Every structure is written in structure tokens, then in C-alpha cells.
């Protein structure tokens, strides 16, 4: 998995409907940063009807609609932790909202590997970093 830079922004993917609003909510919820009122709004929407699914869970619906990997939540959390540390070391701050935008932009870049694990060791290291953080379940 590749870290991404928040200094250069790639072009974002255009979609028929703005699914990225839901993708961003998915990312923020994964980071425990989705405001309560937005979380309630997402739960109240009938995304199953909109996307012709039957999960009864907006995050599962978005995951299916976007064809997200089984380890997307690990990728989101790990990149958040690692990029936040890089920003801190650079004397800047990366907030969750900025990170979500950057994650989406980098996710859509051709040949993106933001949620691809080169080997089992990288995935294990990511899980370890998450377990040792405030993002642990």
C-alpha cells in the first residue's frame, strides 16, 4: 500500500451521481469522525432502495456499490494514522475531512493501490498499528 501526499491533488473521478458524498461519510465513519447528525441522516436514508440492495446497513450498501475491498476499513485507518504522523512531523495538521477527500482522490487514480496489500506482512503491520491506536475496535 502506498502513502499519498496531501500536497498534490490528482483529478477526482466523475460519477453519474455524487456517490463520493456517501464514500466520504463511509471514510469518516470508519475513522469515528462522522458527526452524529450526519450518521443519523445516513441511517435514515433508504440506500437499499436507491441502489437496489438489501443489506439494511448503509455502510455495507456503499461498500457493495463501490465494490470496495474486504480490507478497505483497515486501509482507511492505517493511512489515516500514517499520514497524520507524516503531517505532524512536517509541522502541519491533517484533519479527518481533508484526509477523506484525499483518500477518495487517490482511490480513483489509475492503478491506485491505496487499499491493496502487497503482502500479508504489510496487512499484519497495519492491523498492529490500528490495534495500538485510538481506532481500535
Consecutive 10-residue averages of pLDDT for the chain (137 residues): 47 58 96 94 88 90 92 96 93 94 93 89 94 87
At residue 35, the 3 state secondary structure works out as coil
Task: State the pLDDT at residue 134.
Answer: 87
Distance CA 5, CA 16 (A): 27
List the alpha helices (DSSP H) in the chain: 19-30, 36-44, 47-51, 58-65, 72-89, 96-107, 120-131
> Which residue, among 130, 114, 125, 102, has the nearest Cα to 32 in the 3D structure?
130
Task: State the pLDDT at residue 4.
Answer: 53
Task: State the pLDDT at residue 135.
Answer: 87
Task: State the pLDDT at residue 3.
Answer: 56
Q: pTM of this prediction?
A: 0.84
Task: State the pLDDT at residue 127.
Answer: 94
Task: State the pLDDT at residue 98.
Answer: 95
Q: 83 and 4 in contact (C-beta within 8 Å)?
A: yes
| Exposure b/e, 63-87, CB count within 10 A at least 16 = b | bebbebeebbbbbbbbbbbebbeeb
Task: State the pLDDT at residue 90.
Answer: 92
Amino acid at each position: 500500500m502506498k502513502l499519498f501526499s496531501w500536497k498534490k491533488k490528482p483529478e477526482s473521478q466523475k460519477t453519474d451521481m455524487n456517490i463520493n458524498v456517501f464514500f466520504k461519510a463511509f471514510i469518516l465513519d470508519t475513522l469515528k469522525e462522522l458527526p452524529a447528525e450526519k450518521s443519523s441522516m445516513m441511517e435514515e436514508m433508504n440506500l437499499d432502495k436507491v441502489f437496489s440492495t438489501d443489506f439494511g446497513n448503509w455502510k455495507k450498501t456503499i461498500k457493495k456499490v463501490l465494490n470496495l475491498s474486504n480490507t478497505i476499513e483497515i486501509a482507511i485507518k492505517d493511512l489515516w494514522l500514517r499520514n497524520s504522523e507524516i503531517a505532524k512531523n512536517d509541522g502541519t495538521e491533517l484533519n479527518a475531512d481533508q484526509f477523506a477527500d484525499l483518500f477518495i482522490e487517490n482511490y480513483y487514480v489509475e492503478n491506485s493501490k491505496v487499499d491493496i496489500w502487497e503482502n500479508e506482512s504489510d496487512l499484519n503491520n497495519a492491523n498492529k498499528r490500528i490495534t495500538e491506536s485510538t481506532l481500535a475496535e
